[in-house]
Amino acid sequence: MPKLTIDGREVEVEAGTTILQAAEILGIEIPRFCYHERLAIAGNCRMCLVDVEKSPKPVASCAMPVGEGMVVRTDTPQVQKARKGVLEFLLINHPLDCPICDQGGECDLQDEVMAYGFDRGRYAENKRAVKDKEWGPLVKTTMTRCIHCTRCIRFITEVAGVPELGATGRGEHMEVGTYVEKALSSELSGNIIDLCPVGALTSKPYAFTARPWELKKTESIDVFDAVGSNIRVDARANQVMRILPRVNDDVNEEWLGDKSRFACDGLVRQRLDRPYLRTGGKLQPVTWSEAMAAVAAKLKGLSGAKLAAIAGDMADAEAMIALKDLFTALGSPNLDCRQDGAKLGAQPRASYLFNSTIAGIETADALLLIGTNPRREAPVLNARIRKRWQRNGMPIAAVGPKAELTYKVEDLGESAAVLSAIADGSHPFAATLKAAKRPMLILGQGALARVDGDILLGLARKIADATGMVSAEWNGFNVLHTAAARVGGLDLGFLPGTGGRDLEGILAGAEKGEIEVVYLLGADEIDTSRLGKAFVIYQGHHGDAGAHRADVVLPGAAFTEKDGTYVNTEGRVQRTQRAIFPPGEAKDDWKILRALSETLGHGLPYDDLAALRARLAQANPVFGQLDTVQPASWASFGADGVPSAEPLTTPIDNYYMTDPISRASKTMAECTATFVGCAHKRTGTHG
């Protein structure tokens, strides 16, 4: 390992490390615009110049690998002068429009100018003017501000895997763009806003709404998919202004899907901000006590068998355990958290987790996708697959819907019959999996949410066993969830109890009148027309399908408004934090259930969040360990049988609208119109 000296301090780093990275290890900050640790090195902004002994000129430290005995100085007058020069050059054409620029206050260029800039310009010439580009409803461009760092080009090409951006022209005429005008079709396009070191790329929906120093920043967890991306919620007054990713190398690195980032405007639309009661066929506003009393009056004297509860895709674990405890107290075994009817649950934990872990994808060497389109179901996780594939390729095959994925996939057809062939070894891909050291499969909800879902689950388990996917240090069996609440619900056993009805049973029961009361905890993705004459209590935050059908509406809190626990698809327990308060009279979900239990005479035994969380940990010890993944033990699960011939599908047709929040979002509606409406007739380059 080469040893070098930076500013008089010695450091030993791995060969191939750049000077900039070595300096970072020592805590010496070198200014940069184009360098980004998760992107390829470009070395074109020249801001990171340093002095290297025996080198006649300053050296771009981001692109210079360290050498044995190198003596680097980052603080000499020559370095200062070089950086000042580079910055002055950048400012020749960069407009001085910080007061009207959305990047103001969080702009790398602004910060560096504070450190290295002159207090006046020496150029009287006109600045370069560049026409703005139209990149769709999410990314706003002001291309005169572009300093040509090419971070966005590299991100879209390398990480997002949708090579649509490039630098056309040369010299002063160089422009970053798509050349043929088109919207960026990546589900990760919002990340280029974060990557842009200047105000060339800013958020379109957030444009001119707030300044970074006005925002209250709250660290939280994303619930729009089951990845559990770490986010930062930026709020002003009582409104979420924007959502940004936080770094968590085990989960989302530092990326965030467009829905998770931009659907936050849905948090102020269609909100349930007060209780409602259906009287005379119409939902009328009532007080909390009236609503509670109506529920109590309806439930009085009803046997538990006539009650049922369904938990939605964004329900927090706290609310689910409270609802489960309440229903247990009421004597009802009819619980289900699987809105899509996925055949998961009463089996070992390994059967419903992403056991390899998301970071583990990077160590896999063969992958089989079953009934899933990861690009739509979990774009951040998809980026991880691409990252692995891009490093040195890996065989990837898919049984299921044909999808435009961002890596090369061998299409094995849509029929589940192929799975039987892989399981018994007669399919050629079985040999590929067997030959791999760390093979993995990803089983999507498209395969599980079918009548024969348990057979497919069993088949996937057999494939895992037959191809050596499970060993002491590796488990390649993975279930990719689409709902943030799902693993939490399964961990809590929010499932039919002994003799209880599952989703299908509840709906069938409601149709026949055997189920008289259905409690929907934010459950909007079910077929509400099948609820028959049942008395429907809807607890949730948005006026969506569930509230539309409800007889009583109890307004709850969205994920930004409560301290909730969510378990991601890997089984990682993470917590959201309250960034703002629920609107109007809406309340924390568990508190609503706690109050209701009192009204019903079955007071739940927890009065504060700490006691409730103790109850969670008691229900399942995994809730006691935050931010870690506990390896789940392997056992036999799934059913035997022959799967039906029906082709496998993906549960998500429209990535931009999957839940009550994104359906209420104007931005997501625009995305749907732009990307989904014309997905098959793209113009220009797709010919």
Partner 1 sequence: MSSTDDTFQPASFAFTAESLAKAKATIAKYPAGRQKSAVMPLLDIAQRQEGWVSMAAMNVVAEMLDMAPIRVYEVATFYTMFNLKPVGKYHLQVCTNLPCMLRGSEEIVAACKTELGVGLGETTADGLFTLSEVECLGACVNAPVIWIGDDYYEDLDLQSTKTIIQALKRGETPKAGSQTGRQGSAPAGGPTTLTTVGGDA
Residues of this chain that interact with partner 1 (CB under 8 A) are: 131, 157, 163-170, 173, 175, 177-181, 684-685, 687
Q: What 3-state DSSP class applies to 164?
A: coil
Distance CA 466, CA 427 (A): 12
Shortest spacing between CB 186 and partner 1, in angstroms: 13
Nearer to partner 1, 180 or 635 (CB): 180
Nearer to partner 1, 87 or 409 (CB): 409
Shortest spacing between CB 141 and partner 1, in angstroms: 12
Specify the amino acid at residue 593: L
Nearer to partner 1, 636 or 685 (CB): 685
Nearer to partner 1, 9 or 131 (CB): 131
Nearer to partner 1, 618 or 685 (CB): 685
Q: What 3-state DSSP class applies to 210?
A: coil
* Residue tagged 């930004």 (tokens): 560
Specify the amino acid at residue 99: P
The CB-based long-range contact list for 359-362 (8 Å cut-off, 24+ gap) reads 359/249, 359/250, 359/251, 359/384, 360/440, 360/474, 361/385, 361/387, 361/388, 361/440, 362/387, 362/388, 362/391
The helices-and-strands tally (H runs, E runs) of the chain is: 21, 26
Q: Residue 686 burial (CB < 10 Å; 0-12/13-18/19+)? A: exposed
Shortest spacing between CB 522 and partner 1, in angstroms: 41
Nearer to partner 1, 8 or 687 (CB): 687
- Asked if 571 and 481 count as a contact pair (C-beta separation under 8 A), the reply is no
Shortest spacing between CB 166 and partner 1, in angstroms: 4
Phi then psi dihedrals of residue 29, to 5 deg? -90, 130
Shortest spacing between CB 176 and partner 1, in angstroms: 10
Distance CA 188, CA 253 (A): 13
- Asked if 223 and 576 count as a contact pair (C-beta separation under 8 A), the reply is yes
CA angle 315, 321, 324 (to 5 degrees): 105
Shortest spacing between CB 409 and partner 1, in angstroms: 16
> Quick one: tokens of 223?
């619930």
DSSP state of 29: -
Nearer to partner 1, 134 or 465 (CB): 134
Nearer to partner 1, 165 or 554 (CB): 165
Shortest spacing between CB 154 and partner 1, in angstroms: 13
Nearer to partner 1, 161 or 509 (CB): 161
Specify the amino acid at residue 263: A
Shortest spacing between CB 90 and partner 1, in angstroms: 21
Shortest spacing between CB 140 and partner 1, in angstroms: 17
Look at phi and psi of residue 439 and say left if phi exceeds 0, alpha if psi is from -120 to 50, else beta.
Answer: beta
